[in-house]
Every structure is written in C-alpha cells, then in structure tokens.
C-alpha cells in the first residue's frame, strides 16, 4: 500500500512540478512580451521627442534669422520712427501716438501714412524670405485705459476695443492698397489680421503705473507656424 501511495504521491509531485514549470514559462514569456512592448513605446516616444525638438530648434533658429533680417533692414530708421523690434515676440512696434492717430480717432495722420508707405513694402520684402514658417501677421492696436470723464472702466475698455479695432483696420486697408505692395496683396489678405487689443496690454512706468502715452501704439507681430508643425507631428 505504501509503495502504491508513494508511487502515486511521486506522480502527483511530478505533475505539479510540470504544471508550475509551465506557468513559470508562460509568465516569463509574458514578461518578455511586455518588455518588448515597453521598448517599442519608449523608442516611439524618443523619436517623437526628437522630432518635436527638431521643430523647436528650427523655430528658434528661424526666429533669430527673422529678427536679424528685420534689424538689418530697419535699424537706421528706428530712432526717427520711434519704433522698436522685439526679438522674443518678433514684433515691430510704432510708439509715437502723436504721429499715429488723432485722439479718439481711427483716421491715420499724414505722418503715419508716410512712415507706412516706406515701412510696409520693405517689411514684406523681409517676410517673403520666411513665408514657409509664418502662420500669420497681426497688426495689433493698443490704447490707454482712459476715456471721457464719467465713463466707468468697463465701458471705457470696450469703447477702446472698438477704437483699437477700427485703427488696425485702417492700417490694414492702407498698407494693402499701397502700389509698392501690389504683388503681395493676395498673401496679405490671407495672412494679415487686424486685431484691436484695447487697454489689455498697458505699458507701465517704473513704479508700476500706467504710462498712457506709451500704451497708445501699433504693432506688427509675426506668428510662426511652429505650433502647427508640432501638432501635425503628433497627429501623424
């Protein structure tokens, strides 16, 4: 009997051992599969990261190149126009409210028309070299927070919004009609927008108070398509 039970127990132990070996092999196989999947996902993530990094580096290099091109073209004119080129925002800013518009008016002064007649064709000449990387150009109008006496701040903000929008439309209409920029009219219609920002981006003095004069300005700002390219990479 003992021989029989012993033989049976040995058989059961053997079958149990085989069973656990099979489970162990299965688990090892699954771990290898998960490992390969993890490696594949990590590789894909690294490839996507490198692609996005390439776009970011290309954007930065392109931004520097565009800034340098604008600086080279317009540096001799900045002082007499009281203008400034912002390297980070890729913006060209006209900062003399006394030559831009009349107080509370969207009609451009003759001096500003003269400046734009000189500036815009040359501006487009520079931009044409970078069209593939430009999403749009915004003509941004900025005002102070001031309005007539007795008008509350909220009403003043929206009245200034209408004024700044009307001013940028006047600028866009004028530059689009310049004979010197005729060849660029189709591109201008597709890619240049007139944006009124009211008093949302005031210029402050050293004490943190609003500088009303400096807040009244017009800016031409380039928006690159780097974000669009990154989204396309992610979707692909």
Flag whether 62 is in a domain.
no
Q: In this structure, what token pair is assigned to residue 52? A: 């996005």
- Is 88 part of any domain? yes
Domain count, the chain: 1
Nearby residues of 27 by Cβ (< 8 Å), 6 or more positions away: none
Residue 56 lies in a domain: no
Mean pLDDT of all residues in 174-201:
94
Per residue in 4-38, pLDDT tens? 445 555 554 555 555 555 666 667 777 777 777 87
The CATH number for 184's domain is 3.30.1330.60
Distance of CA 151 to the CA centre of its chain: 35
Q: Is residue 62 within 8 Å of 224, Cβ to Cβ?
A: yes
Mean pLDDT of the chain: 84
Nearest CA to 168 among 98, 225, 219, 215?
A: 219
* Residue 178 CA, distance from chain mean position: 28
Q: Taking residues 82-104, what's their average pLDDT?
A: 93
Kindly state whether residue 148 falls inside one of the protein's structural domains: yes
The region of weakest confidence among 51-60, 90-99, 170-179 is 51-60
* Cβ atoms < 10 Å from Cβ of 124: 20
**Computed over its alpha carbons, how large is the radius of gyration of the chain?**
33
In a domain, 18, yes or no: no
Q: Examine residue 110 and state whether it is found in any structural domain, yes or no.
A: yes
Domain span holding position 165? 71-235
pLDDT at 3 over 60: no
* Alpha-carbon separation of residue 32 from 23, 26, 35, 37 (angstroms): 14, 10, 5, 9
pLDDT confidence of residue 5? 46
Domain assignment of residue 225, yes or no: yes
Encode burial over 38-74: b for 16+ CB neighbours within 10 A, e otherwise: eeeeeeeeeeeeeeeeebeeebeebbeebbeebeeeb
**pLDDT (0 to 100) of residue 108:** 96
Residue 137 maps to a domain: yes
Over the stretch 208-235, which tens digit does the pLDDT of each residue have? 899 998 999 999 999 988 766 665 655 5
* Residues 109-148: tens digit of each pLDDT: 999 999 999 999 999 999 999 998 899 999 999 999 988 8
Report pTM.
0.74
pLDDT classification of 203: cutoffs 50, 70, 90: very high
The first and second tokens of residue 189, run together, are: 């219609």
Over residues 140-170, the pLDDT tens digits come to 999 999 888 788 999 999 999 999 999 999 9
């Amino acid at each position: 009997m003992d021989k029989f039970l012993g033989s049976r127990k040995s058989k059961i132990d053997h079958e149990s051992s085989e069973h656990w070996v099979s489970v162990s092999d299965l688990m090892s196989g699954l771990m290898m599969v998960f490992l390969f999947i993890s490696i594949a996902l990590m590789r894909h993530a690294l490839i996507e990261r490198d692609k996005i990094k390439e776009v970011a580096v290309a954007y930065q290099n392109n931004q520097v190149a565009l800034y340098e091109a604008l600086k080279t073209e317009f540096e001799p004119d900045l002082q007499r126009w009281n203008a400034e080129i912002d390297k980070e925002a890729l913006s060209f800013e006209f900062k003399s409210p006394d030559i831009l518009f009349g107080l509370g008016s969207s009609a451009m002064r003759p001096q500003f028309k003269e400046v734009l007649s000189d500036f815009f064709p040359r501006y487009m000449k520079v931009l044409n070299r970078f069209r593939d990387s430009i999403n749009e150009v915004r003509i941004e109008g900025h005002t102070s927070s001031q309005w007539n006496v007795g008008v509350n701040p909220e009403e003043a903000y929206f009245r200034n919004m209408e004024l700044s929008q009307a001013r940028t439309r006047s600028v866009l209409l004028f530059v689009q009609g310049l004979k010197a920029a005729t060849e660029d009219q189709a591109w201008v219609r597709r890619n240049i927008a007139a944006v009124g920002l009211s008093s949302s981006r005031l210029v402050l003095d050293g004490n943190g108070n609003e500088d009303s004069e400096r807040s009244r300005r017009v800016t031409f700002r380039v928006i690159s398509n780097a974000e669009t390219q990154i989204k396309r990479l992610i979707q692909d």
